[in-house]
Structure 1
Amino acid sequence: MNYFYLYAAGIVVILALYLRRHRRIHREHAAELQQSIETGMAEPPSLHPVVNASRCIGSGSCAVACPEDALGIVNGKAVLKNAAACIGHGACLSACPVEAITLVFGTEKRGIDIPTISQEFETNVPGIFIAGELGGMGLIRKAAEQGRQAMDSIRKRAAAGFDLDVLIVGCGPAGLSAGLSAIHHKLRYRIIEQEESLGGSVFHYPRNKIAMTAPVHLALIGKVKFGEVQKEKLLEFWNGVVEKTGLQISFRESMEGIERHNAGFVVQTSRGKYTAGSVLLAMGRRGTPRKLDVPGEETSKVVYRLVDAEQYKGQSVLVVGGGDSALEAAIAVADQPDTEVILSYRSGAFARVKQKNRDLLAERQKTGHLKVLLNSNVKSIDVESVDIEHDGKVHSYRNNAIIVCAGGLLPTPLLQKLGIKFDTKFGSA
């Protein structure tokens, strides 16, 4: 009998601890949700989950799987507590044990433009194909499959008279898979990538986050079986594939224009002009980073997203922007040993940012680890310095690196000018 009471007491203690933790998580996630609403950050930018509350059991599996920490548990149900952070990769969909999640575009208040494509991933403009995130597919496995299938259609269009059979824009899962298929089909191809690393959105996942949970079929490689793989392992795998197959990628080359040319296209990039029979757009929905357009910006010390704060240890760093991504980058870099950080923003106050980031920014300012320049603009960039206009005067600051967090520009106007049709989604798949 004594053992019975001992076991019962143990169960009561465990239950009490569980309920205590559950209530704490609920309070934290509810506070984050309320903060998102109050700061105007409750509208997701792209593909995002909608939770069927009647099916959701509140297991939290979706929240754990989300690399962006966008989902949480409130009142025992999953909610999109940090909608602005969601990038639509769909890890939550795979993680849900009861199929309570649907991925949709837009909301009742804010529509999202999605290009209209055929089953062969061709737009209404013959010769222009879209695969992956731009076309609404954030799931890694399916994006890679779309890239492979799109290339099966493109090879049927291959014709003489062009520099390339296909120009591929972007080297995320869809672009990489398409490039492998281009080699397999012996097509003349070129892959351009505006950044200096492969992986697309996966490259910008937080460290050690689960990036893929399903097998994928790749040309030249075959079926690749993944259980749960972390971001770093997946990127290591992709780099190994590139080295093994000889896949050629032109980094830091962005698409700037595209025009019809005979039965194909002339594509203007930041490095040159190419004629191509087909074009496959496999870029993400983050778009082309909005640039400063100042002298010296082309230098390699200028990047447009923070990937690893540790690499800036001991450096003088400028962060440009006024959103959460800019504040978080400045804070993360300021926390590295022996760094000097300046945060420059063109307006007089930060708008639509989380209170938590405001508080952390204020703390770093008090300790002297971070300097904030409101109403300021970068004027020019040199090898070891940067000129910033502030309060009507131009000041020169020592500088080793610049992180520009000024948002992105989707190619929607460019594609619409070419005649590509878009559907506006208001909370639908």
Structure 2
Amino acid sequence: MRPTPNNSQTAKPMFAHLTADYDIAIVGSGPAGLSAASRAQELGCSYVLLEAENHASDTIYKYQKGKHVMAEPGFLPLRSGMSFEAGKREAILGTWDTQLAQQGIHIQYKKKVSTIQKLNGGEGPFALACEDGTQCTARTVILGIGLQGNIRTIGTAGDDLPNVQYTLNDPDEFQNETIVVIGAGDAAIENALGLMSKNTVLLVNRREEFARCKEGNLNLILAADSNDDLKILYNTSTVRIEEIAGATDNAPSLRYVYKGPDGERTQDVHRIIARLGATPPRQLVEGFGVQFPNSDPNAVPALSETYESNVPGLFIVGALGGYPLIKQAMNQGYEVVDTIMGLPVVPADEPLLADKFKSLGDRSVSEVLDLIAHNVPVFSGMTRLQLREFMLESAVLKPAKGQVVFKKNDYTSTFFSIVEGSVDIELVDKQGKPFTVNLGQGQYFGEMGLISGRRRTATVRAGAGCVLVETPRKAMLKLIASVDSVRKTIDEVFVRRAISMYLAPSLEATAVEKLLSGGIDVRRYAKGEVLFKDGDEADGLYLIRRGSVAISKVIAGKEMVLSYVSAGNYVGEMAMLNNNPRSATVTAAVMTEALVLPAGPVRTVLDENPQWRAALQLQVSKRVRSNIFREDQAYRDSDLVRFLMQEGLGEATDALIIDENLCIQCDNCETACADTHDGTSRLDRSAGPTFQNIHIPTSCRHCEHPHCMKDCPPDAIRRNEHGEVMINDSCIGCGNCQRNCPYGVIQMAVKAPPKKGNLLTWLLFGLGDKPGQRVGEYDPNAIKKAVKCDMCHGSSGGPACVRACPTGAAIRISPEQFLIKPSETA
């Protein structure tokens, strides 16, 4: 493996004083490696490109047949001697093969590098050895080997059974099968889309949305979810996989057991395809001397802004460096060769970041990134390159002192980090007394709206010299999913906030640290799953981060629901105080996530802090007194709470409820709705379930995590800052939202029918046509679009249905306001 080097270089390389076969050895011919080789060829460098397989770009080569490869991010320019644009896998590989030949790229196939080491005690060039015994030396090394060989497995019983696979070459190979595809990234989505034309596909997503895929794939999979041949299972995890004994050739051979929002389920399937990504080949790379920042299996090597590792002269580009997108990798390959050859390098994203940072004055991009990395610890686990990518999706704000960042009860979901200055959080204590919490440099806020989907719990105002980074929800969820240290920090700070603001505001910092000494256990519960039962030994204090739970007890032989507790509150404190078993059962009303503080540290801190014990005991005493009354009323109210929970009000934020004892069935509410919305009522008063005197008409509940939002191809459904779930004019009438709404509150209607009569004029004076009745002719072939309650957004006085009710029977209210206030929390 010692061909004659190309010495016609036009620039002086790094370490030019060292004697070696090549200036640059490029390991791996993925997009980054190909781009690096093309640039090296253009500059006349002495280089070699080593590829382990018998073809170039093995990762793309192993994409499924006919896969459409996207050129994202769209805003980033391409900088490479190899061309690349969105297109079919086969076309892209063909173009690259042609350009490899045309440019005379010096590539050697079947050369799998096994060792890379520096000679002369680390002062000399690199020696590279391949598995076939060949060797060479190089002054510098560009490592672009990707993650292809380190595929993640499912990690449950049965994940190695026949017909459980981790790659897919040709979707057309399978027909008339029921197939489970596991994963939420691009590979899983593309496999599901490719298989659904000839099979029935279940796509399993562990989370509630697709946060890590490309925008194009997101639109495609959400549009396809309405197809009968594909179903997406959100918030779902694999429990185990079983082999079906005696299955015939055409029958399902596997039983897939999974846990979703409604509990454990099974599905008989022909095969399971898990596309769970890959982890860095850490052992191999560490063998080259490269260091990783921490022990997280997903961690990427620590690199400089020029892609250099801790080993001088060894550069890492592409997916191994945390940049899996093709365009990014190609830019890196080009730039790293310029760096090695001593040419000035301005990263392709530099102008974009400079524009984002211009509000901060004359600071350079590098200075701002230094500032953010130094001042905001939550980002400390990110590499510099990850931080650049993260900031491309975020905004830098410099609000004036006193300016409102967001208001209490807003329905925004962005995440804020404080780079400089401070913010004031305006809160109200349990006695209704206002107080302010100041957050300073390095802290963050907005995590409750980010994770729970609930309204903002406080108003936040900027302090003097405030500089904030505002990050969209999708970008932050992607970061949480990909950088373990960020996830752990978010979890810990959520608990600290809950302790300082709600649970134990009187505790000193040392006591809070002791509370956290036992760690934080993150637990997820499906709807109807029990967090703990009456009589159980207390295992900890539960902070409800998202979802809601019902508190129940057995009274006179009957299970009675006593109360409802929503996200942002806690349960389980009573058993911590009296060292007794649980005194009530807590059940998830909807899919719920709780952060649990272990019982040991909680009891220790209670014993050491009598003032906290006394405050908590006072709250519990009030609840116990309330419980005595509540249990007397349980036969009536418990069944009502259970009914409301069963009807999904646990995930509602604004529900329309009608008291049938007051309702005179005048239909003014429905008529007013039609009058307000151009003749199409978004309310069906008579429809919907009733229990005792409480009726839930068919009308939008404005869910915490709206089902309708998950499957809207034009992204026409949005929640505005006041909480209303709105459908804008970009609706294409596909009907996906109508099919996905479990409560039947969305209808397809002509968006702009002729104007109807006015309700007030018709009621008071009998003038005009009755509202809700069509006037004149309209086109029956007009495109129907989705319509639903928008809380009469833009109209003064609130929802028309409530304003038009002459008896006050109709109310719009959040369930925690309507339901009985929390009582004993076990």
Greater relative contact order (Cα < 8 A, sep 6+): 1
Q: Whose radius of gyration is greater, 1 or 2?
A: 2
Same-fold call, TM cutoff 0.5: no
Q: TM-score, with normalisation over the residues of structure 2?
A: 0.23
Normalized per residue, the structure richer in strand is 1
Give the TM-score normalised by structure 1. Answer: 0.38
